[in-house]
A and B are shown apart, each in its own frame.
Chain A
Amino acid sequence: MGNYGGNVFAVKDDAKQKPIRPSNWLWQAIVLSLCCMPVFGVIAMIFAVQVNSKYDLGDYEGAVRAANLARMFVIVGLALGIIYVFFIIFSTLMGGLIEVIEALVRNEEGIYDY
């Protein structure tokens, strides 16, 4: 990872004629599985492990395919997690607002006690 932003090996290593190893998305998958999307995170981690092992075996296309799958699962899981967090924040805020309004309605006589 790190050497290359995308997962395509366009540039070749001149010395060994080996394509550059694709990013394996391992730490992103770990973050995802610890930040409450464990299903997507674990699937992405399994593909992330496959990237390095396939690369070491010489299966460069398979490594790129696994890296793309890992990236897809990380991005989908991250999007779902962000949507979930925003939904929770929004609903707590709205719930607090509704509670305040309900309290106001309940204590109406007490509040407008001229």
Chain B
Amino acid sequence: MKRVFTIIDYALRENGKIIFFAAIAVLLVAAIFLFYFFDPSRVSFFPRCPFLTVTGCECPGCGSQRAIHDALHLDFQAAFKHNALILFLAPYVLLGVFLQLFNAGGRFQKIENIFFGKRAALVVVSAIILYWIGRNVF
């Protein structure tokens, strides 16, 4: 028990970031559990996209819940049909979280410069905007 308190104390004092990211990890596991066992196209309690509700146009993230469900069931074709972006951007975002956590000493600076540098960021942002326009036009 004393040890647990020591760990919590250490986490709070040394680095509040750890608690924050632990909470995010717990939420992530819960979300994976939820998205694995419930199909968002059948169950109604998943929230609908506010942008789609307001404007009637699809945002770049629309369909990502169904896509995550399909991807967790290893049905990548259906996932690609529902939302093509999330398949590529989910690993990218996880890489970003990893770098945010563990790049304190600049250990992974090369990786960060490649994937989060000027050019990569431009590519990602323009891909998202083009996908947003394209899925509403075609």
Contact = CB atoms under 8 A, between A and B. Distances in A.
Contacts of B97: 27
What is the interface of chain B mostly: helix, strand, loop, or mixed? helix
A34 interface: yes
Contact of A33 (B48, B100, B118, B128): B128
Given A30-B124, A45-B125, A35 B61 contact: yes
Interface string A1-35: 11101000000000000000001101110110111
B28 to A, nearest CB: 11
A30 B93 contact: yes
Q: How large is the interface on A (under 10, 10 to 19, 20 to 34, 35 or more residues)?
A: 20 to 34
Given A26-B121, A45-B128, A92 B45 contact: yes
Given A30-B93, A52-B117, A89 B45 contact: yes
Contact of B64 (A3, A26, A34, A88): A34
A34 B96 contact: no
Q: Tell me which of A49, A56, A84 has the highest count of chain B C-beta atoms within 10 A of its own C-beta.
A: A49
Contacts, number: 97
Given A24-B116, A33-B60, A48-B121, A1 B47 contact: no
A48 B64 CA distance: 23
A85 interface: yes
Interface of A: 1-3, 5, 23-24, 26-28, 30-31, 33-39, 42, 45-46, 48-49, 52-53, 56, 81, 84-85, 88-89, 92
